[in-house]
Structure 1
Amino acid sequence: MKTHVKSLVVGGGAVGASIAYHLAKAGWETMLLERDELTSGSTWHAAGLLPLFNMGYATSHIHDYSVKFYKTLEAETGLNAGFYVVGNLRMAQTSERMDEYMLYASTAESVGIPYEWMTPAQIKDRWPLVRTEDLKGAIYHPTDGYINPADVTQAMAKGARQLGAEIVRRVQVDGYRWTGSEWIVSCTKMVEKGGNLVPSEETFEITAEHVVTATGNHAQRTARLLGIKIPAIPVEHQYIVTEPDPMLVEYRKNNPEHPVLRDADAKWYVREERGGWILGPYERNAPACFEYDVPQAFRADLFPLDLDRIEEEYMSMIHRIPSSETVGLKDDYNGPICYTPDGNPLVGPAPGLRNMWLAEGFSFGITAAGGTGYYLAQMMVQGEAEIDMAALDPKRYGSWMTTEYAARKNEECYEHVYILHHPDEEREACRPLRTAPCYDRVKAQGAQFGCVNGWERPNYYAPQGFDDHAARSFRRGGWWQYAVEEAKAIREGVGMIDATAFTKHLVRGPGATAFLDWFTCNKLPKVGRINLTYALTETGTTRTEYTIVRLAENEYYLISAGAWTAYDGDYLRKAAEDKMAEFGWIDIHDVTTQWGVFAVAGPKSRDLLGKLVKDANPATVLSNKRFPWLSMRNIELGMCPVRAVRVAYTGELGWELHHPIEMQNYLFDQIMAAGEDVGLKLVGARAQNWLRQEKSYRAFGNELGRDATPLEADLPRFIDMSKDFHGKAAMEQTGIRAKCCTLLIDGPEDADPWGREALYEGDTKVGRLTSGGYSVAFGKSIGMGYVRPDLAVEGTKLKVKMLDQLWDATVTCDSPYDPANATIRKDV
């Protein structure tokens, strides 16, 4: 057995085997350790489904790769992976469910996943055992189906061995130690005694440059060994296998196998199994398990079945497939399946650690295994994947996350597998948790909250008694009218947005200026000024967007997106540590929770703030001469000291008011009182999102990400090509593969795009939207996205796919609302 390798994979399920295969294929000397036998975790009892349906762009790519990759394994390894390409039929009982499928289909088209629409009559004609009179239709994927989890894992493991990887079973990892250049991994040989697997007295160490953990149900133990938090905790998932169904057996004499059937409104999947059926429900009240550790004695074991918990789903299967009513139960399975609070796995660099990679929290591990190995290997070997993997990054959860939070949110996520996935949905478990001081005040004003990185953030404001849940829709929900009023208030009067969730870092010290000049692509601002800039990846794509406020010669206040606090901070700190020897000492502090933020914007914003500002000459303190656009001033609003930044994400005259968070309620009350006679309106995030699109302001996680460079985002004005900065050469070498643009859309009267839609020129797909919404300035839908560079020209006529129809879209100029920025620069 080797004692030194380039990459060490810990965990021998489907995910670990895929990672070992792809790292070995990339040429890295790789070893995989498994504490028991390959597939002995959740892999062995997985149903092996391969659903392509997913609303996420990155996850859809991962699933699509897996389905294609698994079909190649037999030719490469000689092992049949047990892939049954029977298709996947996802049925809908309601029109709203069909709306969900049409929105999903937009993502599928962007990725290139084939699908077909089917009517109830077509379903009945093709699969007569399925009851269809109460269905609205279905979406059908002809290229997927199900696979044998053990067979595909063994095939990937054999492929990894053929490529030079070493796979060692019965080895438990007991510790990790970073030397500054590599990992020393402490291991114990496991032995079987009395049917249990126990540690032996044989211990040893393995040295690895890179380590990947794919430990599945053991993620909490892994987290303790690494000294980090991993919100991957299993939830009990049960499924049952019936005896043979005589009518199914008769049907199969002259017909091919049924596709995997999914009745999303009934919360189950069903597939054939040896003449009978497998029913897999996603019921309410499935409990989390192994919240702190997996018992040593738990191996390829199961929990007792709780039939009462799945009675509703079982009866609905009988309704949908009447022939199953008289069929007895043959087998039952109730085993742990790992989840995360949002259902996406945790794939990428571990927080705070070097060369430590996580691949944890896979609720659909068989579907995701192949693609995870492929894209994670790209990240490790090449520096980045070809798709933006930020949505799966482990650092999307910060240090505020606890075991209790993860367990309860994971239970909720399990229950929501088949709940309607509204783009505007907000799940309720564990809320409110992180609240700004003004939470109760804005709630009293009708705030309907969303959750961003645990923070409660107003999405919009509605009359008391308004039901946010009932207002959700795949079209213009009940909230839409209120967001329109809020957007108009900022365009025509004055509005205030609670932006406390913004991420804020203080960077200072003798090396701060040289570091930030290298770390970001734009010129650094002068003292008292601000700029917008980007930190790039090694491959030249956009890693983070920052607004930099220069407080002093070597002191900077960095503002970035509220959803990405740990993600941004980890990258910033690691980059600074790497450059201190070159640039000098750099001190970095996350000050997010020390500063509240109110964004006040609109033509009357100067009138509003002028009533509160305390100054020897209050009439001029907010003027262009004393307080120009893109500058920062320390001002006083009543008794509250404020770090005011003259910038507005909405594209209007406005200020961000960064204030000591302990004074937030005082400041809120002062602003609300002063705003009574100027028509101040509280505004939420949805209206803000529309307004920033009218200004073509790119958003990180939408237009900005690790799959596009700032040049492809069409942001040359924020790039100083006269200096050297991290990622510059790679950015230049990449060129312009696609280009970001803004489009005005003549869409349906009752719907706007969500930013997941495919773009067409004639019958040819030429790009996709990354943002969408409604423009109050133009009275129509608006969107931003990426198209072929030759099409990103004002006046280009395209089509956008919405609700399974093509709608006219026209590429407009950058910043179609006020392209000269006259309103932003407006003086007294």
Structure 2
Amino acid sequence: MKTNVKALVVGGGAVGTSIAYHLAKAGWQDVMLLERDELTSGSTWHAAGLLPLFNMSYATTHIHKYSVDFYKTLEEETGLNAGFSVVGNLRMAQTQARMDEYMVYATTAETCDVPYEWMTPAQIKERWPLVNVEGLKGAIFHPTDGYINPADVTMAMAKGARQRGVMIERKWQVDGYHWTGEAWEVTCTKMVEKGGNLVPSEEQIVITAEHLVTATGNHAQRTARLLGIKTPAIPVEHQFIVTEPDPALVEYRKQGGEEHPVLRDADAKWYVREERGGWILGPYELNAPSRFRFGVPDSFRADLFPLDLERIEEEYMSMIHRLPSSETVGLKDDFNGPICYTPDGNPLVGPAPGLRNMWLAEGFSFGITAAGGTGYYLAQMMVEGEAEIDMASLDPKRYGDWQTNDWAAAKNEESYEHVFILHHPDEEREAARPLRTSPAYDRQKAAGAQFGSVNGWERPNYYAPEGFDDHASRSFRRGGWWQYAVEEAKAVREGVGLIDATAFTKHTVTGNGATEFLDRFTCNKLPKVGRINLTYALTTAGTTRTEYTIVRNGEDNYYLVSAGAWAAYDRDYLLKAAEDFMAETGKLVIVQDVTTQWGVFAIAGPKSRDVLKKLIRDAEPETALSNKRFPWLSARQIELGMVPVNAIRVAYTGELGWELHHPIEMQNHLWDALVAAGAEFDMKLVGARAQNWLRQEKSYRAFGNELGRDATPAEADLPRFIDSSKEFFGKAAMEAKGIRSKCVTLLIDGPEDADPWGREALYLDGTKVGRLTSGGYSVAFGKSIGMGYVKPEQAVVGQKLKVKMFDQLWDAEIVEDSPYDPKNATIRMDG
């Protein structure tokens, strides 16, 4: 057995096997896979093998599509039939809201080239007469997917991997990981059968690997513990039952009837497919418990839990309603096994936090569907430095060290029962909340704040009157909250608004190497002392890794502000880059995460200076905030009442305004003072949704939307933030890419009751030419607005396009960047 390899993959389920296969296919030699038991002995063996393409995530949709296409090629390559039954997937809807969901999803599918068809109840009945279509509004049908045998597809990938030189070793358990500074030393113990159990023997070896990948499924907690990291991947029970043959189904097939697609009645919370003349029912019921919160017991192998039929009775009766012939059919088999989940239902794929050459592929609730694509895109990240799609939404570091097992278990149980809950783009899931709250939380709640959760922080989305039901207001169109967001946006444009931005990520960077480091690390000029600048850190591929607002407090003293949702993600990259710089130069760079030390309020609008004048303590308060003493894009330490504030003259809304960074323990005093001072000027409390609309009117790009690891800052059309005269990390790769697509802003004449969500396809003369990455409503122009990417030749002001919304094409026009106040006159307003 070889003990020195290029890459070691730990975990022999579908995901791990795919990763090993694709690393070898990408050209890596000396790839080894270890499995503590037998291949497929984890969740793979009891998976139902469904391959649903339906997913609201752009990255996950790409992953699923690759899997579906890839699995169809395995037999030709390996000679093994993967058991892929391409019967399609029929997702039925009982309500118009569900059809709206499908239409919102469908335009995302178009951006990823996923084919689909619409079907009426009559068409369903005509094609599959055993289906009771009573109460249905319609359905979306994916003709290219279906179901597969999980064991067969895993074995086919394993054979393909072996053919490409991958070494697959079974019955080896990893018991320790050690990073030497150059490679991983992995301690492995030989496992042996004893009394029906798998137990460790005395035989041990150490495998040295340049790169390490874990795809350990239900064992993710043990893996995290061995690595000294945290993970929210915790299994949840999933049941499915198999019926005896249904005589009506058997006769229907005997008469030449085509096999039913995988049936999904989303409103009834189940899927059903044919199985040897009978049916498989898989429900996603309420109250399914999490399991193995702190690790899988050694005695648990390819085992199952007792079935809890009472828990799925409602879903079972619903299946009988939809398939009446199943009522008299008995149960043949049942399964209740652990399936790993994450709080948002998406897997954890990418570099591990704080570790080098360590890659995670954990938390797969739809592991068979995602296995092929995960192997493909993760191999790209490992071999080439970045994937061709932005994988940030799946990054393991989207959850910080504040997470606990109790929090993850509660969120994963919620994630399980939300599989078939309506996925409104404005949804906010309630489990395990509130958890992270700023001091002003109670004051904001009393004022009508309706909160969203960002990296665990409670952040006001909008403010509503007493008795308003946020949950009931959610919609795929303009929800009940929309009118309040309009009022808030207008207040910022016409008067003054106050926004809580405490969730922003904040770091300080100091030391005698700080300036040189940041100059290399980011693509823009560094600001002078007392000034600020917007800049970007790039990936090895030259794409956008992180956006920073940099405040320079001294020659080697910097304060960095970045997106609140990406705190651990940003910190990890910043720390690793600083470590590399120090190792190369011998200079000192000190990076400190100060996110929880500083609260942030943003005050913006034509009257924002008037409010602050009432509070500022200065020898000349009338001029303290003037352009002469406090110009745009500068920072000053001021006092507002009794609170020392690091004030930054910048506003994400594009109006005259300031960010007020303050000691978090003084937040309530500052909040009360601002609210009191603002009363004279009818200051309105403003949430994140209005702010999101306002920033689009200024064409301000947002990380995770317009900015990401699939586009360069040049493609984001940000030349003013790129200093081509200097050398910076990723510069050569960025320049080599050129302009493959370009970011634009569009005004949209959409439906009267809906705005784009930022995932819609863009068309020119019937041909898809791009996609939206942001969307919303513009109070300045009285119509929908969006930002997105199109082919360079279409990225010209005045270009007329069509945007796909609710299965219709609507007129859209590319406008100049910053269509609202393009000369920044309001931001520079003096007073």
Paired with 2:827 and 2:65, the residues of 1 have a C-alpha distance of 45
Paired with 2:386 and 2:289, the residues of 1 have a C-alpha distance of 36
Q: Deviations over 1:388-433 (max 9, x none)?
A: 0000000000000000000010000000000000000000000000
Residue in 2 that maps onto 1:136? 137
Residue 733 of structure 1: CA displacement?
0.1
The one-letter code of the counterpart of 1:468 is D
Q: Is 1:611 the equivalent of 2:614? A: yes
Residue in 1 that maps onto 2:683? 680
Q: Deviations over 1:526-553 (max 9, x none)?
A: 0000000000000000000000000100
Residue in 2 that maps onto 1:316? 318
Residue 810 of structure 1: CA displacement?
0.1
Q: Deviations over 1:100-159 (max 9, x none)?
A: 000000100000000000000000000010011210000000000000000000000000
Q: Is 1:4 the equivalent of 2:7? A: no
Residue in 2 that maps onto 1:189? 190
Residue in 2 that maps onto 1:721? 724
The one-letter code of the counterpart of 1:69 is F
Residue in 2 that maps onto 1:396? 398
Residue in 2 that maps onto 1:234? 235
Paired with 2:231 and 2:658, the residues of 1 have a C-alpha distance of 38
When the two chains are superposed, the root-mean-square deviation of aligned CA atoms in Å is 0.4
Paired with 1:151 and 1:230, the residues of 2 have a C-alpha distance of 30
* SS in structure 1 at match of 2:382: helix
Paired with 2:425 and 2:184, the residues of 1 have a C-alpha distance of 42
Residue 665 of structure 1: CA displacement?
0.1
Q: Is 1:625 the equivalent of 2:625? A: no
The one-letter code of the counterpart of 2:563 is A
The one-letter code of the counterpart of 2:368 is I
Paired with 1:555 and 1:175, the residues of 2 have a C-alpha distance of 40
Residue in 2 that maps onto 1:638? 641
Paired with 1:271 and 1:26, the residues of 2 have a C-alpha distance of 35
Q: Deviations over 1:741-794 (max 9, x none)?
A: 000000000000000100000110000000000000000000000000011110
The one-letter code of the counterpart of 2:294 is Y
Paired with 2:527 and 2:697, the residues of 1 have a C-alpha distance of 26
Paired with 1:406 and 1:807, the residues of 2 have a C-alpha distance of 41
Residue in 2 that maps onto 1:79? 80
Paired with 1:450 and 1:543, the residues of 2 have a C-alpha distance of 25
Instruction: Summarize the alignment of residues 40-51 of structure 1 with structure 2, pairs less than 5 Å apart.
Output: 40-51=41-52
Instruction: Summarize the alignment of residues 192-203 of structure 1 with structure 2, pairs less than 5 Å apart.
Output: 192-203=193-204
Paired with 1:109 and 1:518, the residues of 2 have a C-alpha distance of 39
Instruction: Summarize the alignment of residues 270-419 of structure 1 with structure 2, pairs less than 5 Å apart.
Output: 270-419=272-421
The one-letter code of the counterpart of 2:36 is R
Paired with 2:198 and 2:295, the residues of 1 have a C-alpha distance of 15
Residue 514 of structure 1: CA displacement?
0.1
* SS in structure 1 at match of 2:97: helix
Instruction: Summarize the alignment of residues 231-270 of structure 1 with structure 2, pairs less than 5 Å apart.
Output: 231-253=232-254, 254-270=256-272
Residue 27 of structure 1: CA displacement?
1.6
Instruction: Summarize the alignment of residues 415-564 of structure 1 with structure 2, pairs less than 5 Å apart.
Output: 415-564=417-566
Q: Deviations over 1:662-718 (max 9, x none)?
A: 000000000000011111100000000000000000000000000000000000000
Q: Is 1:161 the equivalent of 2:162? A: yes
Q: Deviations over 1:427-467 (max 9, x none)?
A: 00000000000000000000000000000000000001100
Paired with 1:822 and 1:644, the residues of 2 have a C-alpha distance of 20
* SS in structure 2 at match of 1:363: coil
Residue in 2 that maps onto 1:599? 602
Residue 817 of structure 1: CA displacement?
0.1
Q: Deviations over 1:486-526 (max 9, x none)?
A: 00000000000000000000000000000000000000000
The one-letter code of the counterpart of 1:298 is F
Paired with 1:803 and 1:79, the residues of 2 have a C-alpha distance of 42
Residue 293 of structure 1: CA displacement?
1.2
Residue 297 of structure 1: CA displacement?
1.1
Runs of 4+ in 1 over 2 A off after TM superposition: none
In the superposition, the TM-score normalised over structure 1's length comes to 1.00
Residue 582 of structure 1: CA displacement?
3.6
The one-letter code of the counterpart of 1:627 is F
The one-letter code of the counterpart of 2:622 is A
In the superposition, the TM-score normalised over structure 2's length comes to 0.99
Paired with 1:582 and 1:372, the residues of 2 have a C-alpha distance of 34
The one-letter code of the counterpart of 1:88 is N
* SS in structure 2 at match of 1:433: coil
Paired with 2:557 and 2:677, the residues of 1 have a C-alpha distance of 33
Residue in 2 that maps onto 1:730? 733
With 1-10 and 579-588 compared, the bigger mean Cα shift is at: 579-588
Paired with 1:573 and 1:191, the residues of 2 have a C-alpha distance of 42
The one-letter code of the counterpart of 2:252 is Y
Residue 256 of structure 1: CA displacement?
1.5
* SS in structure 1 at match of 2:82: coil
Paired with 2:630 and 2:382, the residues of 1 have a C-alpha distance of 46
Residue 16 of structure 1: CA displacement?
0.3
Instruction: Summarize the alignment of residues 768-779 of structure 1 with structure 2, pairs less than 5 Å apart.
Output: 768-779=771-782
* Identity value in percent: 82
The one-letter code of the counterpart of 1:301 is D
Residue in 2 that maps onto 1:170? 171
Question: Paired residue for 1:654, among 653, 657, 666?
Answer: 657
* SS in structure 1 at match of 2:383: helix
* SS in structure 2 at match of 1:108: helix
Paired with 2:163 and 2:742, the residues of 1 have a C-alpha distance of 41
| 5+ residue gaps, structure 1 | none
Residue in 1 that maps onto 2:26? 26
* SS in structure 1 at match of 2:462: strand
The one-letter code of the counterpart of 2:298 is Q
Paired with 1:22 and 1:631, the residues of 2 have a C-alpha distance of 49
Q: Is 1:765 the equivalent of 2:768? A: yes
* SS in structure 2 at match of 1:485: helix
Paired with 2:798 and 2:142, the residues of 1 have a C-alpha distance of 36
